[in-house]
Amino acid sequence: MSAQERVLGAAVIRILRSLIRILLRYGMSYDGFAELAKRVYVEVAQSDYSLPNRKQSISRISTLTGIYRREVSRLLELPEIDDSDLTSRRNRAARVIGGWIQDGDYIDSSGSVRALLLEGDKPSFTHLVRKYSGDIPVRAILDELIRVGAVDMDKDGKIRLLAKAYVPLKQDADMLAILGKDVSDFVETIDHNLRAGGTDTRLQLKVEYDNLPAEAIPALRALAGERGRDLLEEMNAWLAEKDRDSNPKSEGTGRVRAGIGVYYFEDDLNKETEQ
């Protein structure tokens, strides 16, 4: 085994260890995971590794992946597994919150977000939803934001923003959808940087220390949360100005999805040494 193979193998094991911990928690067996893995091997070989000006063949997919041709044919005929409905709902709810905290129509003279009546003249919650979430029913967005604790409605019928971000409940399928979307975005960034070879790289930064006292961790969590939210609120304002859904006056060509993610991590190294 070459040095590159050893490093890649170790990297895959690290990724799988975290992923399989989740899969076992939610009851996915090895056979279920293996079926999905084979399926993705075939999909990627078909879409990304065809020869120039030639249609990808089952034989070539079989050669690339090591999966028998009959199995490749079966996998190619399976219906797509899609979570676009969850992604769309989450994106729409997040856009509503983003508009609420950034759009001057919904901010008072002190710089605080306004409490909004459900209906009525601008600013109202209905106007906010129609501006930032398209044709989705206003009540559906309100119910979703109330359900996850992002807003509440007082006895006077005013809707108040409680959170500056849309975060699904821990037991929601939405949290599992975020697992797929956010991890894949991060891996795609690393893949791009590996292929870029030092030119045209994407932002991929991390700061880490491995001998911190446990007493410092609460302050670090608080600092990371505060600074992370500040950065994302700033980037959200910039992106909303450029995004044609949020700002129809934004000019330009093509359609690109881009953003910035922030995450916090920690490991208790005492537990690792005790095992």
pLDDT tens digits, one per residue of 250-266: 999 999 999 999 999 99
- Cβ neighbours, 10 Å, residue 116: 24
Please answer whether residues 240 and 102 qualify as being in contact, where contact means their C-beta atoms are separated by less than 8 angstroms. yes
* Backbone φ and ψ of 215, nearest 5°: -65, -20
Return d(Cα 152, Cα 98) in angstroms, integer. 17
Residue matched to tokens 């037991």: 171
Helix 84-102 and helix 138-147, axial crossing angle in degrees, nearest 10: 90
pLDDT band at 274 (very low <50, low <70, confident <90, very high): low
What does the pLDDT read at residue 169?
62
What does the pLDDT read at residue 215?
95
Mean pLDDT of the 89-117 span: 85
Q: CA 125: distance to chain centroid?
A: 26
**pLDDT of 86 higher than 70:** no
- Residue percentage of the chain with pLDDT more than 70: 95
Between 37 and 99, the more confident residue is: 37
In a 3-state reduction of DSSP, which class is residue 67? coil
Residue type, 112: S
- Residue percentage of the chain with pLDDT more than 90: 46
Between 205 and 147, the more confident residue is: 205
In a 3-state reduction of DSSP, which class is residue 160? strand
Question: With the C-alpha atoms ordered 128, 132, 137, 142, is the resulting torsion angle positive or negative?
Answer: negative
Output the CA torsion 114→117→118→123 (10° steps). -60
**pLDDT of 66 higher than 70:** yes
What does the pLDDT read at residue 73?
95
Polymer length in residues for the chain: 275
What does the pLDDT read at residue 99?
86
Which secondary-structure segment (H or E) carries 101? helix 84-102
pLDDT band at 57 (very low <50, low <70, confident <90, very high): very high
What does the pLDDT read at residue 101?
87
Least confident of 17-31, 77-91, 130-144, 205-219: 77-91
What does the pLDDT read at residue 241?
86
Please answer whether residues 204 and 193 qualify as being in contact, where contact means their C-beta atoms are separated by less than 8 angstroms. yes
User: Any idea what DSSP says for residue 113?
Assistant: B
In a 3-state reduction of DSSP, which class is residue 112? coil
126-173 pLDDT, tens per residue?
A: 999 988 887 788 888 898 898 888 899 888 888 999 887 777 666 567
